[in-house]
């Protein structure tokens, strides 16, 4: 699958994704993934940042709230339209552009840092994206991204629940099946049934890579792996938001921070 096909999928998802995520149905993002990502990120105040695969801009705005001078791109025009409209209503100084992560329209060393919140695993040619990010980063800059954990969310994953409905194990398979755009269809699990009945499922192209492939791509691009985390919901978060309780059994997300050498 090529970028144009991926873009068409996300353009088809963008209207409902924006509506449902802004309604608070993306519990994994709001209750666990984004807070963990921001807890891991170094100080970004007054730094020039680029957010790849920004969607409708929620996480980009969080970075701007931390003082970063943000530019953001997404391949889906409808996402960019929604992000720009919100920027007009509540300005944060963010510049949004339609763009492809494998062909970044920016000069060399244009940014102090780059982020990608849960977008890189949905992009074809991830090695090319890493090379492009390396190019647009200043020396000593960092790239922090989150992805589905390749070990615990491979192409086949099934949550095993006990008689009370609580997750106590996870079944995984097809780890070595490095898919190139296999379409997965789903909706946010926390959506009310009344809305799910009439909603068109998201069509998400998946580009699964093994952990060893990710490491090989990272090192080949010239980056140094600086930090790696596997977010787990706290007991309190799991009690308040039962959706994320399964991350206390095995991780769902993998967060990595890469550094471009200073010399």
The model's pLDDT over 98-113, given as tens digits with 9 standing for 90+, comes to 999 999 999 999 999 9
Q: What percent of the chain has pLDDT over 70?
A: 100
Dist CA 116 CA 63 (whole Å):
12
Three-state SS string over the chain comes to: CCHHHHHHHHHHHHHHHHHHHHCCCCHHHHHHHHHHHHHHCCCCCCCEEEEECCCCCHHHHHHHHCCCEEEEEECCHHHHHHHHHHHHHCCCCCEEEECCCCCCCCCCCCEEEEEEECCHHHCCCHHHHHHHHHHHEEEEEEEEEEEECCCCCCCEEEEEECCCCCEEEEEEECCCCCCCCEEEEECCCCCCHHHHCCCCCEEEEECCCCHHHHHHHHHHHCCEEEEEECCCCCHHHHHHCHHHHHHHCCCCEEEEEEECCCC
Residue 78 phi/psi, 5° resolution? -65, -40
pLDDT for 263 equals 85
Q: For the segment 106-145, what is each residue's pLDDT rounded down to a tens digit?
A: 999 999 999 999 999 999 999 999 999 999 999 999 999 9
At 247 the pLDDT is: 96
Question: Is the per-residue pLDDT at 225 higher than 90?
Answer: yes
Average pLDDT over residues 15-39: 96
Distance CA 37, CA 13 (A): 24
pLDDT at 131: 98
* pLDDT given at position 15: 96
Backbone angles phi, psi at 120, to 5 degrees: -65, -30
Fold of 3-259: Rossmann fold (3.40.50)
> In this predicted structure, what is the pLDDT of residue 88?
97
Q: State mean pLDDT over 156-178.
A: 93
> Residue 24: which of 255, 200, 189, 212 has the closest Cα?
189
pLDDT interval class at 239 (50, 70, 90):
very high
Report the pLDDT value the prediction gives residue 60, as an integer from 0 to 100: 98
pLDDT at 181: 87
The pLDDT value given to residue 183: 94
For the segment 41-83, what is each residue's pLDDT rounded down to a tens digit?
999 999 999 999 999 999 999 999 999 999 999 999 999 999 9
Q: What is the mean pLDDT of the chain?
A: 96
pLDDT at 198: 87
- For the cut 90, the answer to whether the pLDDT of residue 3 exceeds it is no
- The answer for residues whose C-beta is within 8 angstroms of residue 66's C-beta and 6 or more apart is 38, 41, 43, 44, 45
How sure is the predictor about 165, in pLDDT bands with cuts at 50, 70 and 90? confident
Whether the pLDDT of residue 40 is over 90: the answer is: yes
Q: What is the pLDDT of residue 235?
A: 94
């Amino acid at each position: 699958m090529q970028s144009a096909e991926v873009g068409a999928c996300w353009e088809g998802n963008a209207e409902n994704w924006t509506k449902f995520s802004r309604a608070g149905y993306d519990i994994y993002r709001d209750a666990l993934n984004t807070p963990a990502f921001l807890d891991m990120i170094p100080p970004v105040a007054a730094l020039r940042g680029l957010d790849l695969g920004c969607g409708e801009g929620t996480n980009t705005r969080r970075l701007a709230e931390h003082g970063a001078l943000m530019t953001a791109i997404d391949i889906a025009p409808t996402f960019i339209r929604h992000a720009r409209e919100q920027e007009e209503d509540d300005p944060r100084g963010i510049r949004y552009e339609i763009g492809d992560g494998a062909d970044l329209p920016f000069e060399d060393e244009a940014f102090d840092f780059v982020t990608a919140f849960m977008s890189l695993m949905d992009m074809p040619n991830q090695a090319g994206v890493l090379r492009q990010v390396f190019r647009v980063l200043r020396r000593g800059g960092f790239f922090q991204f989150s992805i589905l954990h390749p070990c615990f969310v491979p192409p086949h994953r099934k949550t095993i629940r006990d008689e009370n409905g609580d997750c106590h194990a996870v079944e995984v398979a097809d780890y070595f099946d490095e898919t190139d755009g296999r379409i997965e269809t789903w909706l946010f699990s926390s959506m009310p049934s009344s809305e799910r009945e009439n909603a068109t499922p998201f069509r998400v192209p998946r580009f699964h890579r093994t952990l060893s492939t990710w490491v090989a791509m990272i090192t080949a691009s010239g980056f140094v792996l600086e930090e790696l985390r596997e977010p787990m919901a706290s007991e309190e978060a799991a009690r308040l938001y039962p959706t994320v309780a399964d991350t206390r059994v095995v991780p769902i997300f993998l967060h990595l921070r890469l550094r471009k050498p200073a010399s």
